[in-house]
Amino acid sequence: MAQWTDPAAQRWLIGVELRHYRQLANRTAVGAAEAIGCTAGKINHLESGRNRQQPDEVAALLKYYGAPDDVVQRLSQLAERDDQRAWWSPWSDVAATWFQAFVGLEGQAAWEFLYEPVFVPGLLQTEAYARAVTSATPRVRSDHVDRFVAFRQARAAVLTDAEPLELVVVVGEAALRLDVGDPGVLQDQYRHLIRLAALPNVELQVLCPEDGIHSGFTGAFAILGFEHAHSVGYVELQDDAVYIRDQERMRGYSMAAENLREVALSPAESVRFIESLVHD
């Protein structure tokens, strides 16, 4: 997905992998630095993504850590990609820094799982719904609403790209019934969800209260999956976000996602449910 480039997100992903394989090999930053002839500080910068990782450095470190050959090859190839402007940069003044990181990673992802119990997720919003939601939140300045909505619409194009993001969404019934805009806005949003659910790369499920206990009681979260790196979890806070990189913790989020998919209505049942909201 060339149009979704983000050098910072790419460096972040490579850094996460470098740290993962170093810790897996029980190597210290000092030992890694000695292995490739640099300082421990540089190793930390490479792992944080602060410094651009050179392909030969990535390969040398991974070999020192005893990483499999295919891992060495795919991560060193990832580091070879040219440094380009981030796709979201035209909207950098209206999108929070912690959210810029997420959309940058999302553009690099092969697939995404998303659970949202409160409102229709941004990726699935119509322009009118996005405008109504954005206008009602104190997070976005009133003079930034138009540009933020444009940013949200541009981001949604990842679902219809030539190499689209594979998306699985579990959305709460309450989110669909949330009073947003006028009745026409909601009706158009329902129809838009039905159209998106028909895409081969989108799977939409609705979670109803009568479906019973589930693992999403702690709130919304996302999981991003990559071809060249381990999965990353994302939890949004009021004015910040948490990124889960530890793979032990990620197993818990993956299990929660599976549970939500099992408890929610099936994709076909979910479409019929949304169709009933249109008729209502």
Residue type, 276: S
Q: 232-236 and 202-207: which strand pairing?
A: unpaired
Q: What is the pLDDT of residues 23-70, one digit of tens each?
A: 999 999 999 999 999 999 999 999 988 888 999 999 999 999 999 998
Write down the architecture of domain 2-79 according to CATH: Orthogonal Bundle (1.10)
pLDDT class of 267 with cuts at 50, 70, 90: very high
Q: Are 256 and 113 in contact (CB under 8 A)?
A: no
CA angle 54, 57, 61 (to 5 degrees): 145
| Distance of alpha carbon 179 from alpha carbon 140, whole angstroms | 19
pLDDT recorded at residue 194: 97
Please answer whether residues 22 and 40 qualify as being in contact, where contact means their C-beta atoms are separated by less than 8 angstroms.
no
Which CATH number among 3.30.870, 2.60.40, 1.20.1080, 1.10.3470 corresponds to the domain 93-279?
3.30.870
User: Per residue in 138-165, pLDDT tens?
Assistant: 778 888 899 999 999 999 999 999 889 9
Q: What are the residue ranges spanned by the domains of the chain?
A: 2-79, 93-279
